[in-house]
Each structure stands twice: as structure tokens, then as C-alpha cells.
Amino acid sequence: MSEIPKDLLYTEEHEYVKPEGDVVAIGITDYAQGELGDIVYIELPKVGTHFNKHDVFGTVEAVKAVSELYSPVAGEVVGVNDRLDKEPALVNTSPYGDGWMIKIKLSDASEKGALMNSDAYSAHLGQ
């Protein structure tokens, strides 16, 4: 059974959003990292890049698959987890902690309302 923290928001594509005021931290869920297996490489955008909701913001390469990462919200990248360049496995060991990927300054805070809470995400996974 996957870990689903109550204080986060989720997408159907298995990204999570951790609200931090008008900035959100984004990563992939425990379920997603478990499905991918051992992550060996992560491609992330540069600070200052703008994304619309559902734009591809990067890729995750695992031993058995390569997956695109979709931005759950629109905004500007204000932080990138550079540790993932050398330690991509942090996404496997700490997806909600040290394995966060990017931070986005929201263009429209109301977009958070379209994301799933932990109960809805749990139901989405059938847990």
C-alpha cells in the first residue's frame, strides 16, 4: 500500500503538490516511484521556465521505463532540486521529502482546487 500524506494534493498522473504559500513543491508520489522501480536519471527544467497546467516539465528514467512529468499547475519554476542530478534514487527513498523535484510560483492559486485530496487520490488508486 502506497504512502499518501494527508497534507498534499494529487493528480491522476501521480504527481503531488505540496502548498508552501504562493509556491508549490512538486514531485511524484510513492505509488509512482514504486511502479517505475529504481530511478536512474531525472531531467528537470531550469529556474525561470514557465509552464501551463498539464505541460511536460521533465522526464524520469527508471530501469524499466521512461515517464514524462506533467505540471499540475501553471506558473514559473523558482526552485529545482539539484541533488537529483547526482542522487536520482532520492525519489525512490524519499518521494515526499528529499525527492521533491521542482518548486513553482503559482500563476493562478485557484488551480489547486482542481487537484485531488489524499482521500480522492487513495480512491483513485483503489486503496
> How many other CB atoms sit within 10 Å of the CB of residue 40?
13
Helix ranges (DSSP H) in 2-126: 30-36, 83-86, 90-93, 118-125
- Give me the amino acid identity at 117: N
Domain segments of the chain as ranges: 9-107
Question: Residue 111: helix, strand or coil by DSSP?
Answer: helix
How is residue 115 annotated by DSSP? S
pLDDT band of 34, cuts 50, 70, 90? very high
State which amino acid sits at residue 16: Y
Give me the pLDDT at residue 1, please.
77
Question: Which CATH code for domain 9-107?
Answer: 2.40.50.100
Q: Structure pTM? A: 0.95
The 10s digit of each residue's pLDDT in 69-120 is 999 999 999 999 999 999 999 999 999 999 999 999 999 999 999 999 999 9
